[in-house]
């Protein structure tokens, strides 16, 4: 099982949209996928068609050791993947875990128990570099960084890269950057082009070739509890996430051969 943390401490950059739609697209490409909602807002849970107000147990209970991870897994009908759901309870984990033993390792240990069941686990991170995000980065093999090509976007990314370095030296030496994903991309914008060029200068082929265009279908789909690939399979958004899944699978394949 490959574990990807989808992270960026900035909110509204497309983390959850990427988590839900990449999960569904990997399933469409024949992969077994677990989506982990690690944001107390529970947007990935709702976007997967599971009502966060009706879940008795979520990832919070797993992190606190109150419930076995196997018992918390739910199936998303619309996405055809498994989900570890979240709701507001999770906001308390930050405080309640402060004195906990191995508090950074809770998610890693939980996912370890599921690793024979899936090809991929995607972790939808909160918009912060807090203990939840540290749990995600400690559990992950690699980080996917969704970002909008705007002013200051690069500064935010370099804070994240510094955090990744720290996690690598202290908690998780194998942590890599899987790739940087340009989201809500407007091909006609000069600024987007410039930031895009800078990004490629800094990160080279870590920048995915696939870009996710701004597409209203992607913004509408969550209110139906569906990935865009189900909500509107012919939309640009759906095509883009299928292309991303393909690109990621190809990259992993070439890495294996090298």
Ligand X SMILES: Nc1ncnc2c1ncn2[C@@H]1O[C@H](COP(=O)(O)OP(=O)(O)O)[C@@H](O)[C@H]1O
Can you give the binding site for Mg ion, defined by CB under 5 A? 15-16, 43
Q: Tell me the β-bridge partners of 51.
A: none
Least Å distance, CB 243 to ligand X, is: 13
175: left (phi over 0), alpha (psi -120 to 50) or beta: beta
Sign of CA dihedral 231, 232, 235, 239: positive
**CA atoms of 147 and 217, how far apart (whole Å):** 19
Nearer to ligand X by Cβ, of 183 and 226: the residue is 183
Give the single-character DSSP code of 129. S
Least Å distance, CB 68 to Mg ion, is: 26
Nearer to ligand X by Cβ, of 60 and 231: the residue is 231
Nearer to Mg ion by Cβ, of 15 and 57: the residue is 15
Site for ligand X in 30-49 (CB under 6 A): 43
Encoded tokens for 57: 């147990």
Asked if residues 34 and 82 have their Cβ atoms less than 8 Å apart, the reply is yes
Rounded to 5°, the CA angle 183-189-190 comes to 120
If binding is defined by CB under 6 A, does position 15 make contact with ligand X?
Answer: yes
From the list Mg ion, ligand X, none, partner contacted by residue 218 (C-beta under 5 to 8 A by kind): ligand X
Nearer to Mg ion by Cβ, of 45 and 172: the residue is 45
Residues that bind ligand X (CB under 6 A): 11-17, 43, 127, 183-184, 212, 214-215, 218-219, 222, 237
């Amino acid at each position: 099982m490959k574990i990807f943390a989808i992270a960026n401490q900035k909110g509204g950059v497309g983390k959850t949209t990427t988590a839900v739609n990449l999960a569904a697209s990997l399933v469409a490409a024949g992969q077994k996928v677990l989506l982990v909602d690690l944001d107390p807002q529970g947007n990935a849970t709702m976007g997967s068609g599971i009502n966060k107000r009706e879940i008795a147990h979520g990832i919070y209970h797993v992190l606190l050791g109150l419930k076995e991870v196997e018992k918390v897994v739910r199936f998303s009908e619309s996405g055809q993947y498994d989900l570890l759901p979240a709701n507001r309870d999770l906001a308390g984990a930050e405080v309640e875990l402060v004195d906990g033993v191995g508090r950074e390792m809770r998610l890693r240990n939980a996912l370890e128990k599921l690793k024979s069941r899936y090809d991929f686990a995607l972790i939808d991170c909160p918009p912060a570099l807090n203990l939840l995000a540290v749990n995600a980065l400690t559990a992950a093999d690699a980080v996917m960084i969704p970002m909008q090509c705007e002013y200051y976007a690069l500064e935010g990314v370099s804070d994240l890269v510094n955090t990744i370095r720290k996690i690598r030296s202290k908690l998780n030496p194998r942590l890599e950057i899987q790739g940087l994903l340009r989201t809500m991309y407007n091909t006609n914008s000069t600024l987007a082009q410039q930031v895009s060029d800078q990004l490629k200068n800094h990160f080279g082929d870590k920048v995915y070739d696939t870009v996710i265009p701004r597409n209203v279908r992607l913004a509408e789909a969550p209110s139906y509890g569906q990935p865009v690939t189900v909500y509107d399979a012919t939309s640009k958004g759906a095509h883009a996430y299928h292309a991303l899944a393909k690109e990621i699978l190809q990259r992993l394949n070439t890495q294996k051969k090298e």
